[in-house]
Structure 1
Amino acid sequence: MRHVLVTGAAGGIAAAIAGRFAAAGDRLTLSDYRAGELAGTAAALRAEYGVGVAEIPGDLADASFAEGLVAQAGPLDVLVNAAGIYPATPLLEMTAQAWDRVQDVNVRAAMLTTVAFGRQGRQGSVVNISSGAATRARPGASHYATSKAALEMLTKACAVELGERGVRVNAVSPGFVTVDSAANPVTEDYAAAVSVNPLGRRGLPADIAEAAFWLAGEQAGWITGAVLRVDGGSTAGAPSLPLHWSGHTDVQNGTPAERAAS
């Protein structure tokens, strides 16, 4: 039985990740700034799986809280940095305060918890939850996209420095996942625009939970510094685009226009 700390676990993807570890019989410590929702998630996991679930509510934007979270949880085998915020802020309305809060929660907190995890002096696994925004900017998300790009580099940097301690550090990068989140709401228009992918469906929290669970386990024992894209293939390309030529191209004989000119 492992001891697993999941941040941002009051709901959404992080709660699904916690549930996947609970289903395997692992002991959990959950953290989130939404204390009431966190307590509800913990109670539901205890009732469904019969595992030990501790709660540590707090704001990861507070550096002292983030620095002490691992020690407060107790010796850990797995750390899942799933906490993240993505407010919509047009670039020309950006303030230092708005920018810093996103970086503090999405990047600095993950750095501080991972450093504390590495200092435990025991082997283990860290899984960071990134986003497709790490490689693809969008209006109103300059702070969020930057934070996720930084989180992916942080994943690699930590993997390099913590490998000799037996600590693996990887990331899961979800595509659009349907999540009912009061903390991070999205409109249906936005969801429809970003959820097109080759597999033809929106992601589910369980899709990301399975990936995080696998990366943390023994089957991924020789993987570190990796970013696993779990996005229905949206990173691979856009299946909704039309053919760039009005008709099919005859590979053997050339295009219709080339045949007419010959």
Structure 2
Amino acid sequence: MRHVLVTGAASGIGAAIAARFGGDRLTLADVDGDRLAAVAAGLGAECRVGDLAEARFAESLVDSDVDVLVNAAGIYPATPLLEMTAAAWDRVQDVNVRAAMLTTVAFGRRCVAAGRSGVVVNISSGAATRARPGAAHYATSKAALEMLTKACAVELGPHGIRVNAVSPGFVTVDSSANPVTEEYAAAVSVNPLGRRGRPADIAEAVHWLAGEQAAWITGAVLRVDGGSTAGAPGLPLHWDGATAVQEGSSHV
């Protein structure tokens, strides 16, 4: 039985990931103690309540026998760029990037000291490669998280520790901390597979990356987004003429 630590486990994607590892020993962390307790109760999991923006709390989460670390905690407030403050910027970076760095470093140190292997899976976002209004801090944090994933994979790989990321597309979640409007959801959820993501879609990918079938994968970012990264299926044809190409015509 593995010992799995999941941050941001009180709701949404984090809670679904915790449930997918339900056969393992679980430690779940979140700032929302009430919701975390409800998730943990159904899984027989240990709860760790605290703010991941606090370095001491983030560093203290990793016990000596944790085998799998899933950094699922993240916040995505809507802040127009011209209204951005240092405090708003730092809060997002601290929760979304610094906390993952601190937990991964603590995890790596413990694994190396014990002479054992381990797995880290970070939860990124499509925002890492595509900005949107009001999310300069969030998009930057996820781009940084993907590079952190690669940097950690390079340094921890020789110690038998794999580090990967899962990048969800738009996923429908019930989150009071990170609400979205239906207008926004409709605009960003168009993809080739024609449906919005579910937390379970992301949980399955995380569970697979943490398992033996992915034993030779590290430093990777797995896009689980219904194909939205591949392109936009709703766009019209760029040319409304005949589909046949005239002989001798040129194309750019």
TM-score range normalised by the length of the shorter chain: over 0.9
1:201-252 CA distances to partner (integer Å, 9 max, x unpaired)? 0000000000000001000000000000000000000001100001342036
Consecutive unaligned residues of structure 2, counting only runs of 5 or more, are none
Report what 2:12 is aligned to: 12
CA distance in 2: counterparts of 1:251 and 1:240, whole angstroms: 23
- State the identity as a percent: 80
Alignment partner, residue 61 of structure 2: 69
What letter corresponds to residue 60 of structure 1 in structure 2? L
Q: Which residue in the other structure is 1:42 paired with?
A: 40
Task: Say whether residues 1:236 and 2:214 are aligned partners.
Answer: no
> Aligned runs of 1:105-124 on 2, under 5 Å?
105-120=95-110, 121=112, 122-124=116-118
Aligned CA RMSD, in angstroms, stands at: 1.2
For 1:79 and 1:33, locate their aligned partners in 2 and report how far apart those are by CA, in whole Å. 17
Paired residue secondary structure (1:45): coil
Match of 1:30 in 2: 28
- Counterpart Cα distance in 2 of 1:29 and 1:250: 60
Q: Which runs of 4+ in 1 moved over 2 A?
A: 251-255
1:218 aligned partner, one-letter code: E
* Partner Cα separation in structure 2 for residue 124 and residue 194 of structure 1: 35
2:199 is equivalent to residue 205 of structure 1: yes
The separation in 2 between residues aligned to 1:201 and 1:56, in whole angstroms, is 34
1:69 Cα deviation after fit: 1.2
Deviation at 1:68, TM superposition (A): 1.4
Alignment deviations for residues 157-209 of structure 1 (CA, whole Å, 9 cap, x no partner): 00000001110000000000000110100000000000000000000000000
State the match for 1:165 in structure 2: 159
- Mark the structure with the bigger radius of gyration: 1
What SS does the corresponding residue of 2:200 show, helix, strand or coil? helix
Could you say which residue in structure 2 is the equivalent of 1:99? 89
1:57 alignment counterpart? 49
The structure in which a higher percent of residues are helix is 1
Q: Deviations over 1:15-38 (max 9, x none)?
A: 00010010xx11100000000110
Residue matched to 2:138: 144
Q: Distance in 2 between matches of 1:236 and 1:133?
A: 14
Give, in whole Å, the separation in 2 of the partners of 1:107 and 1:227. 15
Q: Secondary structure at the match of 2:93?
A: helix
Consecutive unaligned residues of structure 1, counting only runs of 5 or more, are 47-52
TM-score, with structure 1 as normaliser: 0.92
